[in-house]
Amino acid sequence: MTQPTASHFVNGAYLEDGQGAAIDSIFPATGAPVARVHSATQAVIEAALAAADAAQPAWAALTGTERGRILRRAADLIRQRNRELSILETMDTGKPLQETLVADATSGADALEYFGGIAASLGGEHLQLGADFVYTKREPLGVCVGIGAWNYPTQIACWKAAPALACGNTMVFKPSETTPLCALKLAEILHEAGAPPGVFNVVQGAGAVGAALIGDDRVAKVSLTGSVPTGRKVYGAAAAGLKHATLELGGKSPMIVFDDADLEDAVSGAILGNFYSTGQICSNGTRVFVHKRIKAAFLERLTARLAKAKIGDPLDETVSFGPMVSEAQLNIVLGYIASGIEEGARLITGGKRLDRPGYFLAPTVFAEVTDEMTIAREEIFGPVLSVLDFEDEAEVIARANATPYGLSAGVFTNDLRRGHRVIARLEAGTCWINSYNLTPVEAPFGGVKHSGIGRENGKAAIEHYSQLKTVYVGMGPVDAPF
Ligand code: NAD
């Protein structure tokens, strides 16, 4: 595995400044340090913003075809180096290599390929108004700031960089301080693919570095993936500068399993929506509403399937369930498990830290969870599935919507009309019928209510990284009142 050679990537090259506070990347399966980087100092922040600002006009002046070619070349390089990048992602996050080989660098490559492909066809429209006419031009916003969470460091960097760069913006990206390494490899690859210096820069640091970036006058937009409290701060800072903002925030999403559902598929959906990436996924369906008539069968199949999870060294490709990202996150989740037990939920399986090095937690299932329990209301962000009983369609819709969040929702049923009827009434931005947590780059992704503003992926993302200029062209004499 080739590690990044310095903390930051600015103006087309690695950059170090040992004055910044040390940030260690820890391999969560052992607790051993993988690498040490330094938080960006004021000098590094300034260098990154200046580079992005200087590079932006020339980058925007390239044709979409030229920009797209660079993005697509980067996608090819990522695919060629998928194994190496996946190992780094596994070291940074603890997610099993079995997953990272198929879900992380590859989904980042998909985004670069997709937005590289549409860069050449971005444009405005022509409106004929008698002899006069209007045309609109799609213009970039300028310098964009991307701020990432720690659960999908490569994917998040690519989901932000690809549409931003396709539209002619440049970017300064700040990864999560918990997973600093993977975004640096993206910067390296983009520049190897031909992106001019300054087009994509990476600086390290925690919230203060993110805040300094957003607050700079040269920055036109921020895209954050993170928690709701951080989203509030970032949105406030963007508002103060009247800047564009995309916010991909947390969730407490419902998954509703009707009694006519295919039971095995519903259990698969619940596993994907609660235990993939050790449960550290924003769109997880953590409130699993199961119809009373099939609850016993559902729990039996779920526990039987969970027993097949192979927990262990995430670098072993046969392992399907890895550690949590950090001790801090593990302790937060253990706190929620304790509250579930204390508030009267029935612990079906798991619930304990595993007796081995690293931050391993057994996949955990609670049943008889009620709407007012803490574990049914707050985002846990770990491998904890709550089963809630229901009997009536209208009742379950009301309960599913009784949350400030609105990222995702899922319905399992074999009744075609019910599937669409129920999804139509669920307050969520990203929904699934008879599947869960599939997020192809072609499909817009994002939340409603407190779960976010704006959309990533799909053509919708273009709206959030560009703006229209309207040009009215007068073809006749100018008619003035005096
Ligand atoms: P977090 O909110 O603690 O941090 C997210 C990022 O924001 C980090 O890079 C952090 O350094 C930065 N940050 C913190 N304070 C800041 C400030 N004042 N100004 C600017 N930047 C600041 O989140 P996390 O713990 O890294 O990630 C977990 C959260 O992310 C969960 O809530 C999860 O649901 C959410 N998430 C959402 C999505 C999505 O697409 N909707 C995807 C993944 C994770």
- The DSSP secondary structure of 293-345, one letter per residue, reads GGHHHHHHHHHHHHTT--BS-TTSTT--B---S-HHHHHHHHHHHHHHHHTTP
**Phi-psi region for residue 242, left (φ > 0), alpha (ψ -120 to 50) or beta?**
left
Taking the CA of residue 233 as reference, the ligand 1 atom at the shortest distance is: 18
Distances from the Cα of 119 to the Cα of 140, 145, 278, 443, angstroms: 12, 20, 35, 17
The stretches in the chain having pLDDT less than 50 are none
Indicate if ligand 1 lies below 6 Å from the C-beta of 222.
Answer: no
Indicate if ligand 1 lies below 6 Å from the C-beta of 151.
Answer: yes
Taking the CA of residue 447 as reference, the ligand 1 atom at the shortest distance is: 41
DSSP 40: P
Residues 58-77: pLDDT tens digits? Answer: 999 999 999 999 999 999 99
Contacts for 229-232: CB closer than 8 Å, 24+ residues apart: 231/450, 231/452
Q: At what angle do helices 105-118 and 82-93 cross, to 10 degrees?
A: 120
The DSSP H or E segment spanning 96 is none
Report which of 222, 227, 231 is spatially closest to residue 280, judged by C-alpha positions: 227
88 close to 25: Cβ distance less than 8 angstroms: no
Say how many C-beta atoms besides its own lie within 10 A of residue 76's C-beta: 15
- SS3 state at 264: helix
Ligand 1 pocket test target in 93, 155, 172, 176 with most atoms within 8 Å of CB: 176
pLDDT at position 2 is 79
pLDDT at position 295 is 98
Residues facing 94 on adjacent strands: none
Ligand 1 pocket test target in 177, 202, 222, 225 with most atoms within 8 Å of CB: 225
pLDDT at position 211 is 98
- Half-sphere exposure of residue 31: CA atoms within 13 angstroms, side-chain side: 8
Residues 424-453: pLDDT tens digits? Answer: 999 999 999 999 999 999 999 999 999 999
Token pair, residue 281, equals: 């996924």
Model confidence pTM above 0.95:
yes
Ligand 1 centre to CA of 147 (Å) is 8
Report which of 321, 319, 379, 314 is spatially closest to residue 349, judged by C-alpha positions: 321
Find how far residue 117's CA is from the centre of its chain. Answer: 21
Report which of 390, 302, 389, 317 is spatially closest to residue 350, judged by C-alpha positions: 302
> CA 219 to CA 147: how far, in whole Å?
13
Burial zone of 2 (CB within 10 Å; 0-12 exposed, 13-18 middle, 19+ buried): exposed
Positions marked catalytic: 160, 248, 282, 456
Helices and strands (DSSP H and E) totals, the chain: 16, 20
Indicate if ligand 1 lies below 6 Å from the C-beta of 234.
Answer: yes
